[in-house]
Chain A
Amino acid sequence: MAFGAFTATAAPVDAAPRKRSLVALFLLLPGILYLALFFLAPLVSLILTSLQTPDPLAFGEPGAYDYAFKWENYATVIGTYGEHILRSFFYALLATIFALLFSYPLAYFIGVTLRRFPLVQALGLTLVIAPFFISFLLRTLAWKQILSDEGVVVTALKGLSLMGPEAHITGEPVAVIFGLTYNFIPFMTLPIYTSLQNLDLRYVEASGDLYASPARTFFSVVLPLSAPGVISGALLTFIPAAGDYVNASSSFLGGRDTQMIGNVIESNFLVTQNYPAAAALSIVLMAAILILVSIYVRKSGTDDLL
């Protein structure tokens, strides 16, 4: 949705009057300076911090570091936390796929099936965004209780002998992937809905008139026309999911063996005060996401995303 909005409004901009003045500068400067100071400068700060070396005079006191160009920090964190980095991207990828499979039919229902009933359609949209109105942490905790060993789901599955007596759901990868999927579903559903809402149904009719099977119509007409929504939705789900550390935290849905890169950054920064390691991991995460996103965008043919 947010990503699409940058492209959707591109056309009127070209029609804007060709004038340049102090007014434009006055309008832009405060916001741009703000972002330079509190978005760009922090990134520079992260890079500098990631190259720091322990202060030799502090005798191993936590949090005491000197500026240096210690590039080995990167090799160290990738060696130590490579597993967490891969796990983050693996979990985020699965969550994105599950969210897409869950969201597409739902978005089609709201955007196409309910098109003739505007009020019901509005109700459907409200239901999709309803999870946003209850705290992110509380809805994740609610799932933790529901999926816990004493909860309904585990009791039922064990009663039906579908789960071993010693098996758990919470604390396992399945719970973390489930939580990531659930929490980011609205980010997937809304952009797909926006694309499908604008879908001209006469194309679908035309495809049917030309004897295309419903499946053929879906894959050759509906899906390509909703591709911008799918791409936006995938990015809006994958990026926050890869950096999330709430779902994977052991006080929420995760356990000892589900820690993601976000958990490692948090504990290094806020608990052990190993700032260089936390900063290096942040840079690795951001670089990996930018590379993956640009490959994905190029492959899916939306070069004009910006």
Chain B
Amino acid sequence: MSRFFSRLSFGKYAIWIYSILAFLFLLIPIVYTIVYSFNDSRRSNIVWRGFTFDNWTQVCQAQGVCQSFLNSILVGLTATLLATILGTMIAIALVRFRFRFRNSVTLLLFLPMATPEVVLGAGLAAEFLTAGVAKGALTVIIAHTMFCISFVVVTVRARVAGLNPALEEAGRDLYASPAQVFLRITLPLLMPGIIAAALLSFALSFDDFIITNFNSGAFVTFPKFLYTAAARGIPAEANVIASAVFFIAIIFVVVSQLTAAARRKRLARE
């Protein structure tokens, strides 16, 4: 019996030890990138040459880094806005209405997620080539919006399905117009799902390289800057931008999780 218990507790410890090591493993390249953002590098940021804040205080000194970052933000915001609107509309239609071809619509939404990015990128590039559309910021925004829509639908759809129809019915019973019901009841209730979808879209767009590479022409996003620079050495300033983005995203996630936990606690008390 005691042997059984010792084995059980070893098993318990084993999964703790394994998981802590696994977490540390996942963090290795993140820590590396952050540490090397403080490297006093001259031309290539490969060898450690001493600690400095200069890369952080003069981020835009490395040629093209800041412009590519701003381009990525611009593309991310535009594509997110478009994809969130189009995707939310589809999500509402899929849950609330019955219509013919619904299976075809579901398949059409599923396929972009099951298609390798290189095929999506090459396909759009072939289409733009045939149509004679010049590659640039616009074609990148078109591409990003396309692959974000499906993810928005998946995210918002769960929220629409979980919505209690009685709340909207109550609004109608109290003589609210359809527009009022939508704007004052449906939309606010869907908001957490819509915000989650928008954040996911922005993250996907911001970090996309493969599709962008096929459709950007001379337009440089942050990942494309990194890919081009990789051959000759990434400047430490790029590490600074990536680290800053990382910290902002982590703070965002932690704050939202803490507020969600606080809300759960409050609801449990009531």
CB within 8 Å for A282 and B118 given contacts A34-B145, A126-B254: yes
Q: Is the CB of B117 within 8 A of A243?
A: yes
Nearest CB in chain B to that of A102: its residue: B22
Q: Which residues of the other chain, A, contact B254 by a CB distance below 8 angstroms?
A: 126
Q: Is the CB of B230 within 8 A of A251?
A: yes
Q: Residue among A26, A43, A283, A289 with the most chain B CB within 10 A? A: A43
Q: Chain B residues with Cβ under 8 A from A45's Cβ?
A: 123, 126-127, 130
Chain B 157-176 per-residue mask, 1 if CB under 8 angstroms from chain A, else 0: 11001100000000000000
Cβ of B19 under 8 Å from chain A: yes
Least CB distance from A208 to B in Å reads 11
Closest to B161 in A: A12
Q: Is the interface of A mostly helix, strand, loop or mixed?
A: helix
> Is A252's CB within 8 Å of the partner chain B?
yes
B residues less than 8 Å from A46 (CB atoms): 119, 122-123, 126
Neighbouring A residues of B33 by C-beta, 8 Å? 134, 138-139, 142
Interface size on A, residues (CB 8 A): 98
Q: What residues of B have a CB within 8 angstroms of the CB of A239 in the complex?
A: 114-116
Query: Are A134 and B214 also in contact (CB < 8 A) when A27-B90, A35-B112, A109-B18 are?
Result: no
In A221-277, the 8 Å CB interface with B consists of 235, 239-240, 242-246, 251-252, 261-262, 265-266, 269-270, 275
Question: Which residues of the other chain, A, contact B115 by a CB distance below 8 angstroms?
Answer: 239, 286, 289
Nearest CB in chain A: distance from B266 CB, A: 14
Q: 4 smallest A-B Cβ distances: which pairs?
A: A243-B116, A42-B123, A142-B29, A24-B97
| A27-B92, A31-B87 known; A265 vs B122 contact (CB < 8 Å) | yes
Cross-chain contact A16 with B207 (CB below 8 angstroms): no
Q: Which of B57-65, B183-191, B231-239 lies at the binding interface?
A: B231-239
Point out the residue from A16, A38, A214, A243 that lies within 8 Å of B11, measured CB to CB. A214
Contact count A vs B, C-beta below 8 Å:
280
Q: Which residues of B contact A98 (CB under 8 A)?
A: none
Interface residue SS majority, chain B: helix
A contacts, CB < 8 Å to B: 2-3, 5-6, 8-9, 12-13, 16-21, 23-28, 30-32, 34-36, 38-43, 45-46, 48-49, 102, 105-106, 108-110, 113, 118-119, 122, 124, 126-143, 145-146, 150, 182, 185, 214, 235, 239-240, 242-246, 251-252, 261-262, 265-266, 269-270, 275, 278-279, 282-283, 285-286, 289-290, 293, 306
| B93 CB, min distance to chain A CBs, angstroms | 4
Residues from chain A with a CB closer than 8 A to the CB of B214 are 266, 269-270
